[in-house]
Amino acid sequence: MRYSLLDLAPVPEGFTAADALRNTGDLARHAEAWGYHRYWLAEHHNMPGIASAATAVLVGHVAGLTQRMRVGAGGIMLPNHAPLAVAEAFGTLATLYPGRIDLGLGRAPGGDGAVMRALGVLPERGEQFHVEVAELRELLGPQVAGRAVRALPGEGTAVPLWILGSSLHGAQVAAMLGLPYAFASHFAPQMLEQAFEVYRRYFRPSEALERPHAMMAINVFAAETEAEARRLRTTMQQAFYRLRTGMPGKLPAPVDDLSAVVPAGAMPALDAALQVSAVGDPAQVAAQLRDLIARYQPDEVILTGQIWDHGARLRSFEIAAGAMAGLGQGAALETQTG
């Protein structure tokens, strides 16, 4: 099974956006060497702890630092942009890096009301998501005689489109348009099984895809010991709690005692939101990844994890890559001997 990596270009406390972008480049180079198939970056705005707001720019940067790995957006929030502008940006990327660029699309604003006003986004744009995805696909498709507006570069590049989602809406759009689907189970897992079922049941084959292809996101916090892995995880737990309580900031350092910074009453909701996670030493992470894949039956997985220390983040993704490669070898052996 292919395994990929989702990077939000986190800005840790005590560091700057420049540090975060250097870390992203370093992680991408390592990820390619570790066998990651895709490296995706996500659009967020007005968030001090995330440096991937200009997502297309960062996609180009990462593609330029790597050789083979696919690089893309996971995703671009389409209501924030005119489809033509997205087609031109990703058409340019696909022209520079042919066969390596992905374009994941979401309908969320990627920010609050103030961000939407600053971007000039109309709230009703989200209701036209499926229409605008179809328009974008046409702009990236073959030349059509008489078309008044063309994406140049972009036309004819056929950049692969993915639909992203954390509810049933994205599953329905992906099924209707015959596109691959990625579910944000790393922070909103409650509807994962239902979304996959809806997507697969109603999928319509298209020129882009003959059969459904569903990807799930999994948080990974891996270290040499379970205790260290659980300590690493406290960074994301703190960050998620702060975000949900209206206090977003830079990525906090890990703590020995999470209860000292996150109220006990907040933990059930936090645990529910982050339940699709693999946490522990290499053996534990491999077992947990195997169990998650067996339960949800994705066609592909994308791994993520907000970790404060860059060296620890590298090691976590290295352990995760080894676990996924091992699972693949085990499945191949079972097939041969079954």
- Domain 2-335 adopts which CATH fold? TIM Barrel (3.20.20)
Average pLDDT for the chain: 95
- Read off the amino acid at residue 153: P
Average pLDDT over residues 78-91: 96
Predicted pLDDT of residue 332:
53
pLDDT at 331 over 60: no
Closest CA to 4 of 42, 44, 32: 32
Output the pLDDT for position 172: 97
pLDDT one-digit tens code per residue, 226-245: 999 999 999 999 999 999 99
Using the CB atoms, write b or e for 31-66: b if 16+ within 10 Å.
Answer: bbebebbbbbbbbbbebebbbbbebbebbbbbbebb
**Residue 337 confidence class, pLDDT cut points 50, 70, 90:** very low
Q: What is the pLDDT of residues 31-78, one digit of tens each?
A: 999 999 999 999 999 999 999 999 999 999 999 999 999 999 999 999
pLDDT tops 80 at residue 330: no
- Per-domain residue ranges of the chain: 2-335
Segment 4-33, tens digit of pLDDT: 999 999 999 999 999 999 999 999 999 999
